[in-house]
């Protein structure tokens, strides 16, 4: 008699999943829970039975039958190592690693992973709501949720305490400033004569981020067809071994950020006038790629200070000093509020969501609405 074929894993992670009823809600509806195994469904069912026994012991004694001694900190580090290389470098560093290293590990630290309850997670977010923005808290919650889900699949714990967590924040997000159209013209005029002007010109004209700008290479420019290709980004990342910062040239934030931008004749001429022997368009004194932080301090901030002082002393005009992201925000705002084609704007900026584009950049008022609708 032929041996029956082994059943294939039925979960997207490649694991065997079994769902069982472990209790009932107040209204009588069943509470369902998933159990996983890398071996077979039978092994997953065995885990489900062990869980029921463990819960019965816990309800009677207050202690788990087989407690897991792994701490939050230890599992967090193993979790980070497990996802490294499976997601974008920017997501790994700015979302997961930053959330765990700078916030979650210092808070939960040596506590046993299995001892952390939903109320502990909620208390953490309640405390952080006074000092962190809502978007940051969302990243922390996403990190915790994925970390505990991984712990369940790897049999480190049997429940995810991140369920039904409510997020709120009393910290007001910083309002991004923008230049007016007249101020943009003044800044662009100043870029032509300043030693660091090309970088500011490219950001303000085309809405490039700092990371994208510093990743630009001369090979990305098609002078004949007047196009620049956005292919990579640059970030400062902490080396886990030395704890020192290092420059990483890697992928862009998402697939939509990789794009082709048409250039004006003026831009082509400006680029040609600044051609150098380095691979990178914006480089340091040695011709190498710039550290984003160092570039901001030694190049961008210097430009802004000298530009602002020039217009104040020479023409008695106050031009504010914006940061790199506010230049991108300025360009996006001007394009959107000039009633340009949103698909074209989204394509140049590298946005995937037109609704988000409108929400973030469209500053509606009565007079602009009157103008767009041609109401006299």
**154-211 pLDDT, tens per residue?**
888 888 999 999 999 988 777 789 999 999 999 999 999 999 999 999 999 999 999 9
pLDDT band at 288 (very low <50, low <70, confident <90, very high): very high
Q: How far is the C-alpha of 154 from the C-alpha of 69, rounded, in Å? A: 14
Q: How far is the C-alpha of 309 from the C-alpha of 295, rounded, in Å? A: 20
Residue range 181-373 forms a domain whose CATH class is mainly alpha
Q: 3-class DSSP state for residue 283?
A: strand
**302-344 pLDDT, tens per residue?**
999 999 999 999 999 999 999 999 999 999 989 888 877 778 8
Question: Higher pLDDT residue, 46 or 371?
Answer: 46
Range of lowest pLDDT (49-63, 68-82, 235-249):
49-63
Q: Do domains 72-153 and 181-373 have the same CATH topology?
A: no
Would you state the pLDDT for residue 161? 94
**101-131 pLDDT, tens per residue?**
999 999 999 999 989 999 999 999 999 999 9
Question: Higher pLDDT residue, 153 or 137?
Answer: 137
**209-247 pLDDT, tens per residue?**
999 999 999 999 999 999 999 989 888 877 766 778 888
Would you state the pLDDT for residue 373? 45
Q: Which of 209, 314, 228 is nearest to 267 (CA)?
A: 228
| Domain range list for the chain | 16-61, 72-153, 181-373
| Assigned CATH for 72-153 | 1.10.150
Please name the residue that has the structure tokens 């550290």: 291
Do residues 216 and 282 touch, judged by C-beta distance below 8 A? yes
Put simply, whether the predicted model's pTM sits higher than 0.75 gets the answer no
Question: Higher pLDDT residue, 155 or 132?
Answer: 132
């Amino acid at each position: 008699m032929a041996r029956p074929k082994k059943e294939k894993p039925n979960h997207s992670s490649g694991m065997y999943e079994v769902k069982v009823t472990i209790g009932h809600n107040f209204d009588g509806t069943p509470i369902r829970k998933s159990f996983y195994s890398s071996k077979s469904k039978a092994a997953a069912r065995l885990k489900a039975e062990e869980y029921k026994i463990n819960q019965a012991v816990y309800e009677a004694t207050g202690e788990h039958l087989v407690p897991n001694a792994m701490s939050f900190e230890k599992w967090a580090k193993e979790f980070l190592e497990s996802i490294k290389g499976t997601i974008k470098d920017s997501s790994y560093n700015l979302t997961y690693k930053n959330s765990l290293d700078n916030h979650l590990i210092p808070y939960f630290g040596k506590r046993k992973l299995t001892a952390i309850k939903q109320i502990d997670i909620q208390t953490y977010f309640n405390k952080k709501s006074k000092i962190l923005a809502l978007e940051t808290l969302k990243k922390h919650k996403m990190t915790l949720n994925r970390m505990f889900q991984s712990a369940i699949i790897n049999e480190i714990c049997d429940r995810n305490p991140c369920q039904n967590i409510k997020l709120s924040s009393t910290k007001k997000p910083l309002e991004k400033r923008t230049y007016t159209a007249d101020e943009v013209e003044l800044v662009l005029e100043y870029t032509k004569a300043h030693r660091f002007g090309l970088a500011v010109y490219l950001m303000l004209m085309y809405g490039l981020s700092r990371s994208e700008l510093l990743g630009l290479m001369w090979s990305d420019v098609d002078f004949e067809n007047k196009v620049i290709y956005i292919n990579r980004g640059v970030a400062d990342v902490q080396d886990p071994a030395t704890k020192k910062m290092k420059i990483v040239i890697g992928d862009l934030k998402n697939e939509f950020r990789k794009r082709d931008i048409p250039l004006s004749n003026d831009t082509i001429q400006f680029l040609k006038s600044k051609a150098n022997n380095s691979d990178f368009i914006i480089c340091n004194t040695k011709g190498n790629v710039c550290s984003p932080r160092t570039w901001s301090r030694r190049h961008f901030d210097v430009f802004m200070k000298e530009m602002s002082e020039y217009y104040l002393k020479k023409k008695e005009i106050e031009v504010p000093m914006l940061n790199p992201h506010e230049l991108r925000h300025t360009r996006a705002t001007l394009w959107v509020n000039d009633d340009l084609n949103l698909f074209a704007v989204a394509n140049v900026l590298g946005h995937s969501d037109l609704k988000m584009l409108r929400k973030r950049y469209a500053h509606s008022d009565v007079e602009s609405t009157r103008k767009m609708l041609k109401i006299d």
